[in-house]
Amino acid sequence: MPKLIIDNQEVEVDQGATLVQAAGQLGIDIPTMCCVQDVSPCTSCMVCVVRLVGRENLVPACATIAADGMQIDTCSDEVTAARRTNLELLLSDHVGDCIAPCQMADPNNANIPAIIRCIAAGDSAAATKLLRGDIANIDGAKPQRACRRARKDQPVAVDLLLKFAAAQANGESGGPKDETKRFSVHIGKLSETELERFMTGISPDQQVTPADPGAGYTPEEAAAEAKRCMHCDCRKADNCKLRDYAEAYQAKPAHFRSQRREFVQDLEHPDVIYEPGKCICCGLCVRITEQEGEEFALSFVGRGFGVQVAPSLDKNISQALQKAADRCVQTCPTGALAMRK
C-alpha cells in the first residue's frame, strides 16, 4: 500500500486512492466541485489543486492517484492563491443573484422571497417562522423600495406581506435579526428581455390594495399579491459550493469579469429550475443522467466560451430529467440546477 506525506503527516492508503481521499484520511479537506463519490471526475473546476513536490505545475488532487513516496502540500500560500484564481475564473462567467434585492435591503436579512412563496402557497405558519427581528414592529418599507418588479410596473407590496405574515404569528416569534454579511454575486441591471423572462408565470396584475387598509391583507389578498413576486433569489444560496468556497478563499467575483452573459431561467421542468448562467460545466449532471439511463441525457453543446449543458436531441429539460432530477440537483455544486420549492 502506498505511503505518502501530506502537509508533513504520513499516511498509508489503498492502491488507487486519489489525493483527495488520501488527504481525507488525515482529516484534511481539499475543496472539490466537479468530483463526488460514484461519478468519475472530469477535472474541470481545478479548485482542488495541490503542490506535488518535485513537479513544476500544481496538480488536481481529485484525479491524481496517490503513489509511494509522494510529498504533497495542500495549504501553502501558492496553493491558496491558485485556488482563489480558479474560483475567480469560474465567477467571471457566473450570472445570477445569490440574494434577492429585497432581502439585500432588509435590515433583518429575512429570506423575503421564501416568505412570499409560503404566503402564495397559503402556508402562513411557515411564512411566520421565516420572519426575522422584532416581528411586532416588522417593517418592509426598505425591501419594497428595492423590489425588482418596480421596473416592470409596481413593486411587490413587501411591507403589507410581511405585516400579514407577522399578524399570523399566534404568539410565535421569528428568527433573530441576521447581521452576517455573506459572499454574494449580483446580476446588476436587467435588460428588457431579461426582465420579461423573469415575468414568466408571474401574475401580471397591479399591486393588490387591501379592502380594509386598516386591517391589512386578508389571506386571499395576500396570496394574490404574493403571486406577483418574480422570485429573484437563488434557491441554493445556502447549499452552493461555489459560494462557500468563494467566501472561504476570499475570491473577488469581478476580478476577471468581462461582459456578462444573459440571464436565462429554464422553467420547463415542473420541479427543477435550470439557470445556465450559474453552470460551471463540471459535467456531473451529464454523467449522472447517463448513469441513470435517461433517454435524453444532458450533454455539452456548443464550443469554447459558448459551451453549455443542455438536453440531447433538442429535447427540453423536463424530458432530460425524468429519473435523475433529485440526484442532479443535489449534486450540482452551484445553483444552476435547483428545486423550485
What counts of helices (H) and strands (E) characterise the chain? 13, 9
Sheet containing 9-12: give its strands across.
9-12, 3-6, 71-73, 49-52, 59-60
Binding of ligand SF4 at residue 148 (CB under 6 A)?
yes
Binding of ligand SF4 at residue 17 (CB under 6 A)?
no
Q: Is 319 helix (H, G, I), strand (E, B) or coil?
A: helix
CA distance 97 to 253: 12
Q: Which of 203, 105, 98, 82 is nearest to 162 (CA)?
A: 105
Binding ligand SF4 by CB under 6 A: which of 13, 102, 110, 317? Answer: 102
Interface characters, 299-338, with ligand SF4 (x: CB under 6 A): ----------x----------------------xxx-xx-
Q: Are 334 and 241 in contact (CB under 8 A)?
A: yes
Helix 219-226 / helix 112-120 crossing angle, nearest 10 deg: 120
Largest interatomic CA distance in the chain = 77
Binding of ligand SF4 at residue 269 (CB under 6 A)?
no
Query: What part of residues 30-59 is at the interface with ligand SF4 (CB under 6 A)?
Result: none
Binding of ligand SF4 at residue 149 (CB under 6 A)?
yes
Choose the stretch contacting ligand SF4; rule: CB under 6 A; options: 52-60, 81-89, 224-232, 259-267.
224-232
Binding of ligand SF4 at residue 165 (CB under 6 A)?
no
Nearer to ligand SF4, 4 or 294 (CB): 294
- As a three-state string, the secondary structure of 6-66 is ECCEEEECCCCCEHHHHHHHCCCCCCCCCCECCECCCCCCCCCEEEECCCCCCEECCCCEC
Binding of ligand SF4 at residue 109 (CB under 6 A)?
no
Interface characters, 231-250, with ligand SF4 (x: CB under 6 A): xxx-----------------
Nearer to ligand SF4, 51 or 236 (CB): 236
Binding of ligand SF4 at residue 156 (CB under 6 A)?
yes
The contact set with ligand SF4 (CB under 6 A) reads 100-102, 112-113, 116, 147-149, 156, 158, 229-233, 279-285, 309, 332-334, 336-337
